[in-house]
């Protein structure tokens, strides 16, 4: 079947992997990547697909409802995979308004455009909203996991804005019958992640022999998933997921920050042929993040049992692949960390 799918935020980290997968796998689909190109959006992430006949890029802000409606009509969009968002918790603590605007109003604008264009016939249409496990709040240090039934309990402005957007998506399903799916995924890692997030930031800082700022005692736990496994899950759910449902996506791969950081240091030192332990002294304990969630861990049993998805990559293999990619792509790293970001990061670090 021919389809025209709008992927929002396709120039960002996860979005670029989703765009690449869909453009390469589905030559009968028109893939439109709509992205505002904020500091986190980078078309260099998609160099390898930019000339493909089934790919088109549109620079636009999801908050501009009139522009979005026009794009829906012009291109006869019949599917949306919505990833565009402000995504960094530390930024949300400094500037919550931008998060409310993009993540809530931006999502509402896409929902309203979908409803207006599709309401005569919802058949074969889908609004797929990408969310996060952070909407569920924080777990204790025990064996509990977030399931699809876990009550929403967001703590940061980022997770509150994502929770709010999830509620709007559900409201459009329940009120207007809009065909929607929501997925809540754990922390992703892999190539093309903006280096304000833990893993690429630390790889870059080790390379440049700069301090590694560990928040608090480094005991917080995250559940890490290789980004290509997330993109594969999105493909499966977009095509075979049940409309109106929520699916959790996770790696069954919990790491405390400090243990993860030690693995990163060891891997970078080995690949750079540094002496073993050479970068250990870069670890610098700094003031904790305000409202820092203790532990996230996802139960993705539903996705495995209903649709057969499982993470494909062992963490050791994924982290090796990731470190190698950042070391081999220093120009990408230098390009995205120059200018405004360098100034922003220096201020962030000074504030701690």
Q: Which of 41, 213, 250, 311 binds ligand TYD (CB under 6 A)?
A: 213
Q: Does 215 bind ligand TYD (CB under 6 A)?
A: yes
- Judge whether 158 counts as a catalytic residue: yes
Question: Measured between alpha carbons, how far is residue 274 from residues 76, 192, 271 in Å?
Answer: 54, 24, 8
Smallest gap from Cβ 10 to ligand NAD, in A, equals 7
Q: Taking CB within 5 to 8 Å according to partner kind, which of ligand NAD, ligand TYD, none is near residue 7?
A: none
Helix-helix angle 330-337:315-328, to 10 degrees: 70
CA 54, CA 76: separation in Å to the nearest integer?
15
On whether the CB atoms of residues 3 and 238 are closer than 8 A, the answer is no
Task: Write down the catalytic residue from 35, 78, 134, 166.
Answer: 134
Task: Write down the catalytic residue from 35, 78, 86, 133.
Answer: 133
Task: Write down the catalytic residue from 29, 128, 158, 296.
Answer: 158
Q: Which of 197, 207, 230, 232 binds ligand TYD (CB under 6 A)?
A: 197
- Judge whether 334 counts as a catalytic residue: no
Residue span binding ligand TYD (CB under 6 A) among the ranges 7-15, 17-25, 212-220, 273-281: 212-220
For ligand TYD, give the closer residue by CB, 109 or 187. 187
Smallest gap from Cβ 1 to ligand NAD, in A, equals 26
State the residues that interact with ligand NAD by CB under 6 A. 8-9, 11-15, 35-38, 40-41, 61-63, 83-87, 102, 106, 130, 132, 162, 185, 187-188, 194
Q: Which of 45, 103, 257, 322 binds ligand TYD (CB under 6 A)?
A: 257
CA 64, CA 258: separation in Å to the nearest integer?
41
For ligand TYD, give the closer residue by CB, 106 or 154. 154
Q: Does 201 bind ligand TYD (CB under 6 A)?
A: yes
Smallest gap from Cβ 274 to ligand NAD, in A, equals 28
On whether the CB atoms of residues 263 and 314 are closer than 8 A, the answer is no
For ligand TYD, give the closer residue by CB, 91 or 125. 91
Q: Does 206 bind ligand TYD (CB under 6 A)?
A: no
- Judge whether 134 counts as a catalytic residue: yes
Sequence-separated (6 or more) residues with CB below 8 Å from residue 249: 183, 184, 185, 186, 225, 230, 233, 298, 300, 303, 309
For ligand TYD, give the closer residue by CB, 271 or 283. 283
Smallest gap from Cβ 171 to ligand TYD, in A, equals 25
Size of the site for ligand TYD (CB under 6 A): 12
Q: Taking CB within 5 to 8 Å according to partner kind, which of ligand NAD, ligand TYD, none is near residue 12?
A: ligand NAD
In the complex, which residues of this chain contact ligand TYD (CB under 6 A)? Answer: 89, 187, 197-198, 201, 213-215, 220, 222, 257, 289
Catalytic residues: 133-134, 158
């Amino acid at each position: 079947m021919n389809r025209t799918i709008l992927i929002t935020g396709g120039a960002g980290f996860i979005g670029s992997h989703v765009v690449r997968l869909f453009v390469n796998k589905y030559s009968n689909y028109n893939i439109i990547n709509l992205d505002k190109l904020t500091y986190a959006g980078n078309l260099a992430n998609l160099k390898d697909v930019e000339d493909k006949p089934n790919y088109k890029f549109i620079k636009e802000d999801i908050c501009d409802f009139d522009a979005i409606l026009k794009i829906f009509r012009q291109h006869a969009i019949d599917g949306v995979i919505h990833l565009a968002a402000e995504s960094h918790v530390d930024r949300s603590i400094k500037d919550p308004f931008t998060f409310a605007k993009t993540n809530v109003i931006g999502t509402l604008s896409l929902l309203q455009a979908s409803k207006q264009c599709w309401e005569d016939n919802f058949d074969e249409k889908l609004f797929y909203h990408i969310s996060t496990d952070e909407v569920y709040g924080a777990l204790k240090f025990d064996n509990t996991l977030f399931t699809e039934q876990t009550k929403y309990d967001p703590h940061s402005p980022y997770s509150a804005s994502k929770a709010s957007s999830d509620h709007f998506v559900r409201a459009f399903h329940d009120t207007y019958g809009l065909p929607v799916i929501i997925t809540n995924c754990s922390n992703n890692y892999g190539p093309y992640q903006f280096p304000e997030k833990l893993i690429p930031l630390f790889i870059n800082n080790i390379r440049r022999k700069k301090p590694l700022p560990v928040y608090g005692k480094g005991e917080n736990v995250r559940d890490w998933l290789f980004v290509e496994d997330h993109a594969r899950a999105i493909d499966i759910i977009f095509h075979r997921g049940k409309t109106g449902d929520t699916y959790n996506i996770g790696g069954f791969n919990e790491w405390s920050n400090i243990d993860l950081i030690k693995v990163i240091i060891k891997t970078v030192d080995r690949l750079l042929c540094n002496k073993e332990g050479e970068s250990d002294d870069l670890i610098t304990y700094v003031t904790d993040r305000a409202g820092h969630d203790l532990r996230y861990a996802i139960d993705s049993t539903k996705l495995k049992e209903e649709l057969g998805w499982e993470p494909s990559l062992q963490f050791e293999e994924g982290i090796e692949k990731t470190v190698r990619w950042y070391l081999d792509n220093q120009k990408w790293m230098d390009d995205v960390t120059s200018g405004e970001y360098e100034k922003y990061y220096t201020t962030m670090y000074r504030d701690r």
